Structure 1
Amino acid sequence: MTWFESVILGLVQGLTEFLPISSSAHLRLTAAFAGWEDPGAAFTAISQIGTETAVLLYFRKDIVRIVSAWARSLTDKAMRSDHDARMGWLIIVGSIPIGVLGLVFQDSIEGPFRDLRLTATTLIVMGLLLGFADRRASRDATGGRHRAPTQRKALTDLNTRDGLLFGGAQALALIPGVSRSGATITGGLFLGYNREAAARYSFLLAIPAVLASGLFELKKVADQPHIEWGPIVLGTVIAFFVGYAVIAWLMRFITTRSFMPFVVYRVLLGLLIFALVAFGALEPTAGEPAH
C-alpha cells in the first residue's frame, strides 16, 4: 500500500464507517475502481481502530459513566438496577453474536464474502430494509388521519432480549455491503426505538467488537514480515479525525432528518455495481490480492 492509497482509504473509512452505507464495501470498491489491490479485511479492521477511537472520544462522558456504574454493580447489588450499569451488561450481551460468528466465518469474511456481486446485493437489500424501517418510524412519530402518534422506545427501555437482537443485527455487518451502523440502526428501528436511541446504541455496541477485531488483525499483521506500518498508521489517524466529524454531523442530522438519502444512495450504488459487472467493466473479484 502506498502513502497516497493510505490517505484515500483513510478518508473513505472515516467518511463511511458511521454512515449506514458500509465502510468495508466502500474500501473494497475504492480499491476496485482505482485498480489497486484490495486493502483486505485486515486493513479494514485496523483502520476501524481509528474510527472507534473517535467514538470513545465523542461519547467519553457516556462511556465513563457506564463503565463506572457497571464496575460498581459487580459488588453492589443496589447498582444492578441502575440504567448505566444495565447498559454495560447489555453492551456485553449484544457483542456476543458478532464475536462468535466472526470467529466461525473468518475464512469466508476474508474470501468469498468479498465478491462484488454479493456486496451489491447487500447494499440494495439492506438499504431497502433501512428505508422500510425508517418510514415506519416516521409514521409512528407523526401519526396520521386515523391514528395518533406512537411513542417510540428510548435507551432506557432497552432489555436483554432487545440487546441480543441488536447484536444479531450487528453481526450481519460481517458481510461487506451490509454496514455495521446500518444493520444495527435498522434492527433498532424495527424493534420500535427512536432514531437517536438506535444510532447511539449502535455506536456504543460497536466498541467491544470493533476494537477486538482490530487488535486481533493487528496481532496477525504484526507477525508478517515486511509490513509497511507508515501507510497503515497514517490511514488510521486520518480515519480518526474524519470519523469524529462524521459522528458529530450524523447525531445532529438524525434529529430532524430521515435516513432516506442513504437508502437511495445504497440502492443506486448497488445497481451501478451490477451494471458494471454485467457489461464487463468491472470484475467481481477486482482488486483482490494475488495468491
Structure 2
Amino acid sequence: MPFLHLVVLAIVQGITEFLPISSSGHLVLVPNLLGWQDQGQTMDVAVHLGTLAAVLLYFWRDLWSLVMGLVMLLRGRPDQRTRLVGMLLVATLPAALFGLWLHANAPDWDRSVRVIGWTTLGFGILMWIADGAFMHVREIKHMGVRDALVIGLMQAIALVPGTSRSGITMTGARFLGFTRVEAARFSFLLSIPTIAGAGILAVHDLMKSGDSALVGSALTAGVMTFVVAIITISLLMHYVSRIGLAPFAIYRILLGSGLLIAVYTGAL
C-alpha cells in the first residue's frame, strides 16, 4: 500500500478506536470517500493491534493487577483482582464465539456504507440516551456476572461495522449505572482479549498468505497507529468525566444521517 494510505489509516484507527465513534466504520469509509481501494480486514486488524499495544502500555498497572489476580486464583486464594479477571472473561466470551463464527463462515462481513450509516446513527442515539437518562454511581468493583454478560453481548454486536466496540460497551455500562470513567476503563481493558484474539487470527492469515509486502505494510501501519492511539487514550481518560459521551453521540447522529442521505440519494 502507498505510504500515504498507511498514514491515513493509522491516524483514523488511532483516534477512532477509543473514541466511541467506530473505528471499523471509519476504516471502511476512508477508501469509499477518498476513492482508494479497500484495504481489507487483514490491514484493519493490523492497525487494531497498534491500538492494543497502546492499551497495554497505558493500563500497565491494571494489566499487572490482572496477572496477579490469575496468580492468586492458581494459589487458591482469589481476591478482588481475580474477580475482575472473571468479569473480563465473561464479557469477552460472546464476542469471541461470534467472531470465530464470522471468521469461519462470513469473513467478508458487509462493509457497505449503508450498514455503517444505520449503525452509526442508531447506536449514536442509544449512546446519548444512556449517558444522560440514568443515575451513574457504580464502579467496576460493583460489577456482577449479569453486568459483564450484558456488556459482552453488546460487544459482540460491535462486530457489525459502524457500531463501535468502545461506544457500545460504554453505552451498555452507562445503561447499567456505571460512571463514565469506570465505563471507559472497563471498555479499554475489555479490548485487550478481544483485539488480541482478532490479531492472532489476522497474523495467522498474514503468515499463511506469504505476502511479504503486506506484512511490511501491516507492521508500518501498526507502529504508527500505536503512537496516535496512546495520545488519544490519554486525552479521553482525562476529559471523559467532564464532557461525557454526548458530543460523540451528536457526531455519530450527524455522520450517520449524512451517510444515509448520501446512500439513498445516490451520492455514494
TM over 0.5: yes
Shift of 1:107: 6.1
Q: Distance in 2 between matches of 1:38 and 1:249?
A: 30
Paired AA for residue 219 in structure 1: H
- 1:206-250 Cα shifts (integer Å, max 9, x gaps): 101101101211111221143412222111111101101111100
TM-score (norm 2): 0.95
Report the residue type matching 1:271 in the other structure. Answer: S
User: Relative to structure 2, which stretch is displaced further, 234-243 or 38-47?
Assistant: 38-47
Separation in 2 of the partners of 1:29 and 1:50?
Answer: 20
Could you tell me how far apart the structure 1 residues matched to 2:193 and 2:156 are?
Answer: 13
Dislocated runs of 4+, deviation >4 Å: none
What is the rounded CA distance, in whole Å, between the counterparts of 1:71 and 1:120 in structure 2? 45
Partner SS state of residue 94, structure 1: helix
Is contact 1:109-1:174 (8 Å) kept?
no
Map 1:179-198 to 2 at 5 A: 179-198=164-183
Question: Mean Cα displacement is larger for which, 18-27 or 224-233?
Answer: 224-233
- The residue type paired with residue 160 of structure 1 is V
Query: Among residues 128, 131, 134, which one is paired with 2:128 in the alignment?
Result: 131
Instruction: Find out whether 1:221 has 2:218 as its counterpart.
Output: no
Matched with 1:287 is none
SS at match of 1:129: helix
Instruction: Report the Cα distance in structure 2 between the residues aligned to 1:276 and 1:40, rounded to whole angstroms.
Output: 23
Paired with 1:193 and 1:166, the residues of 2 have a C-alpha distance of: 11
Give the alignment of 1:275-286 within 5 angstroms. 275-282=261-268
Residue in structure 2 matched with residue 252 of structure 1 by the alignment: 238
- Paired position in structure 2 for 1:55: 55
Partner of 2:224: 238
Preserved CA contact (<8 Å) 1:18 1:247: yes
Identity of aligned residues (%): 36
Which whole-Å deviations, capped at 9, do the CAs of 1:34-80 have from their partners, x for residues lacking one?
1111122211112111101100000001110121122222222xx32
Residues 46, 221 of structure 2: 8 Å contact kept: no
Q: Distance in 2 between matches of 1:213 and 1:266?
A: 25
1:89 is aligned, of 86, 99, 117, to 86
Q: Equivalents in 2 of 1:130, 1:106: separation in Å? A: 28
Quick check: 1:169 aligned with 2:154?
yes
Give me the whole-angstrom Cα distance separating, in 2, the residues matched to 1:220 and 1:231.
Answer: 14
Aligned residues: 267
The answer to whether structure 1 residue 200 and structure 2 residue 197 are counterparts is no
Q: Structure 1 CA distance, aligned partners of 2:180 and 2:86?
A: 22
- Check 1:65–1:112 CA distance in 2 against 1; reply closer, same or farther (3 A cut): closer
Unaligned runs of 5+ in 2: none
CA positional deviation for 1:31: 1.0
In 2: Cα distance, 1:101 partner to 1:260 partner:
29
- C-alpha RMSD of matched pairs (Å): 1.5
The amino acid across from 1:256 in the alignment is R
Aligned residues of 1:154 and 1:194 also touching (Cα < 8 A): yes
Equivalent position of 1:265 in the other structure:
251
- Single out whichever of 221-230 and 44-53 deviates more from structure 2: 221-230
SS of alignment partner, residue 280 of structure 1: coil
Return the offset for 1:255: 1.8
227-236 or 32-41, larger mean C-alpha shift: 227-236
Quote the Cα distance in structure 2 between the aligned partners of 1:43 and 1:267: 27
Q: Which amino acid aligns with 2:102?
A: F
